[in-house]
Structure 1
């Protein structure tokens, strides 16, 4: 295998804002904006509050989103990373089989404040990191994810290291060192999906990625072939040592992974594998009364069912991975929203009773496709199908107004939040992040 680690580091460290096409810049800014919105919505979740009470934290220059507190960049990166993933509302990517932005944006903002970086530097560093992690996933998946690793942290920590190294203007060799240090902290199990440990993974990816870049800058050493080494990342996490590195390197700076297959902004705050089932169930809502339903069948891809067959979720986090529960909620309400994961909504007897009628069956069609069948007491059989969930693919993107609407679902509308959205969508024009982080802080009491 070629010198994958160093080759990828050379490409990433050489990326400049002028290399980014207008669509790449636009989609990157949407993803950054969406990630910050998810963090602000998640900052008061139990997973964040409990972590803040336990994890060590030192004062510093970096903002804890949604608060007036400022911490050391590593501490802010970790807490903000947990917050951004706490609701499972942040973006995702099919090749990565995980969440690309949440592993990078919180740490990047924390580091950018400490280094007084510009918006253009942040935007370019974000793209470098996202491209690196998705392209690495391209040659390691599906074996990597199917072994049980959580790609959001295992690929994400390397993307975070690349983004941080780019922001710090490290050389290709130091960038490769940061990647190799980060590779030694890549860990996270899909078994912990539906628990607080899943967002903790995102916090670790941010902290460890930034830490790896800081260590590399300070002169720390690591083998510059940690990805492709015979005892390295690809061999340890996958099925084979003999992996073609071409797809990770070819078309860099031209064929952006964030555009194709793209970064998918979520319409619903739950596991993306279930979104097409929700869409299909919502299509049927107007044609039936839930009291008439005798039986429900949901068909999803067999590879997806392993993690989303949870007939009796015990709490809101667990419910985010329950196809049965979310299909029932969509049949009742026509959608799934943030409030639906509060305890009283998860344990709503009407939803619980309807979810008990849901049977899951595997299919071999498109990876995202969801098909819902409903049999009614009057003998009718209705069905609906969704092939691509909104926002999941470039063929069915969220419009800019829909992205703004989701932002304000997460951050209640106000002059300050509107200004924040508009500023983030012009990120590259800001000489520093100070005006943006000022808008992220809560308004002073009147």
Structure 2
């Protein structure tokens, strides 16, 4: 009997997994992921980009069956999933699986929330489907990294579509064969490019991932099929968008070793690889004699991904969230890096703009992904150096539940729903006991 293809193995994993067998620590991580995700989406509810997405999708929407977080308008499942994904990913404040740099929740969770709300499914079903979808996305991401991203594919959007399809297949209770077809169908929908990341076009790719996941699962449920080796075949998705896939990364330990359990959460609304830069600069700023006016030059060293993503001119708020220069300036000049530090007024702040010009970036291939070394030269000739290999929020230094709750409350305030934050947090922590999503969605609308 031939070995199963990637879609067949993943389909069986999705269909046969039992919530009762999922370790309690992993269930808790699912709840942490969704708490972080919903908070990020609420935080951008008033952003013009979210309002525009809502307006466009409203014109395309069918029956209004699903909640758009922080809005008065409901949309069809695919429309709500699109807008909620855009909102959650907009500020680069969402979760991250560092090995792949996938942000799992934004492309996956909105599809599950919308579909479960439409069909009256339980909170435990959503949590379980999220873990399964996140696992599928991260394993496929591992299999094509780093060549996939290096070729210009936005891995959150591409692998997110696979994860959304897998999670939706689980919610629809598809069998192994139909779940595999859903994942295979997603292979022809998975798209999004890195070139577009500093623009609003990024939002389209992330927003489409959950829409495509819903569509793939529904077509699979209706009997549509994909090629058996849609992922790893000679002309399949993986080889078309990267190098030969690492099949062991997809299949090894499937169901016993969980990649989604390595999900992390950001204390700063910026690309994950810039967190070490901010932490190192905050450390330097706290040292005696280090004041912004005394700093004549800053050198930031990091791996190739840090330089490729962040060695850029800062013109807009989007640029600032993926900028080595802005991250360093915030840490050393302002001593903080909250949401407002990455908005337009901070970008045009003369003090920050002038300081950014003192920052240079250099490659150090010996530093691991997510690490940074910052060296500053002072006017008196002294040099101070700080190296951060495990920034705040990383797998080695995870955000606590209390820190995630505080982040949620801050985001809820930004979205204009601060008065509901405590109830929203409680509803998300107890989602595994909710018979359906009606109470949670009433709080989020």
* TMscore range, shorter length: over 0.9
Structure 1 unaligned spans of 5+: 442-446
Whether the 8 Å contact between 1:194 and 1:320 is mirrored in structure 2 is no
Give 3-state SS (helix, strand or coil) of 1:104's partner.
helix
**Residue in 2 that maps onto 1:279:** 279
**Residue in 2 that maps onto 1:308:** 310
Number of aligned residue pairs: 435
Whether the 8 Å contact between 1:2 and 1:245 is mirrored in structure 2 is no
Deviates more, 1:50-59 or 1:88-97: 50-59
Aligned equivalents of 1:408, 1:169: Cα separation in 2:
35
Task: Kindly state the Cα deviation for residue 50 of structure 1 after the two structures are TM-superposed.
Answer: 2.3
Task: Kindly state the Cα deviation for residue 21 of structure 1 after the two structures are TM-superposed.
Answer: 0.5
Whether the 8 Å contact between 1:173 and 1:224 is mirrored in structure 2 is no
Of 297, 305, 311, the residue aligned with 2:299 is: 297
Task: Kindly state the Cα deviation for residue 208 of structure 1 after the two structures are TM-superposed.
Answer: 0.7
Task: Kindly state the Cα deviation for residue 415 of structure 1 after the two structures are TM-superposed.
Answer: 5.0
Give 3-state SS (helix, strand or coil) of 2:106's partner.
coil
Aligned equivalents of 1:344, 1:303: Cα separation in 2:
27
Q: Is 1:371 aligned to 2:368, yes or no?
A: no
Runs of 4 or more, structure 1, over 4 Å off, are none
Once the two structures are superposed, the pairs formed by residues 11-410 of structure 1 within 5 Å of their partners are 11-55=13-57, 56-240=60-244, 243-259=245-261, 262-287=262-287, 288-310=290-312, 312-364=313-365, 365-393=367-395, 395-410=396-411
Whether the 8 Å contact between 2:101 and 2:155 is mirrored in structure 1 is yes
Give 3-state SS (helix, strand or coil) of 2:302's partner.
strand
Whether the 8 Å contact between 2:35 and 2:404 is mirrored in structure 1 is no
Give 3-state SS (helix, strand or coil) of 2:286's partner.
helix
Q: TM-score w.r.t. structure 2 length?
A: 0.95
Change (3 A) 1:244 1:330: closer
Q: TM-score w.r.t. structure 1 length?
A: 0.95
Aligned equivalents of 2:17, 2:44: Cα separation in 1:
32
CA RMSD of aligned residues (A): 1.4
Aligned equivalents of 1:131, 1:370: Cα separation in 2:
28
Whether the 8 Å contact between 1:39 and 1:83 is mirrored in structure 2 is yes
Aligned equivalents of 1:170, 1:189: Cα separation in 2:
31
**Residue in 2 that maps onto 1:416:** 420
Aligned equivalents of 2:98, 2:169: Cα separation in 1:
25
Give 3-state SS (helix, strand or coil) of 2:387's partner.
strand
Aligned equivalents of 1:290, 1:6: Cα separation in 2:
57
Aligned equivalents of 2:56, 2:401: Cα separation in 1:
39
Structure 2 unaligned spans of 5+: none
Aligned equivalents of 1:416, 1:39: Cα separation in 2:
14
Give 3-state SS (helix, strand or coil) of 2:198's partner.
coil
Give 3-state SS (helix, strand or coil) of 1:201's partner.
helix
**Residue in 2 that maps onto 1:444:** none
Aligned equivalents of 1:209, 1:423: Cα separation in 2:
25
Task: Kindly state the Cα deviation for residue 2 of structure 1 after the two structures are TM-superposed.
Answer: 4.2
Aligned equivalents of 1:358, 1:316: Cα separation in 2:
18
Whether the 8 Å contact between 2:104 and 2:134 is mirrored in structure 1 is yes
Whether the 8 Å contact between 1:265 and 1:398 is mirrored in structure 2 is yes
Aligned equivalents of 1:236, 1:9: Cα separation in 2:
22
Deviates more, 1:204-213 or 1:11-20: 11-20
Aligned equivalents of 2:251, 2:185: Cα separation in 1:
21
The one-character-per-residue Cα deviations of 1:341-391 (angstroms, maximum 9, x if unpaired) are 221111100000000000101112212211111111122211111111112
The one-character-per-residue Cα deviations of 1:260-302 (angstroms, maximum 9, x if unpaired) are xx10101110111111001000111123111111111011112
Give 3-state SS (helix, strand or coil) of 2:377's partner.
strand
Task: Kindly state the Cα deviation for residue 155 of structure 1 after the two structures are TM-superposed.
Answer: 0.6
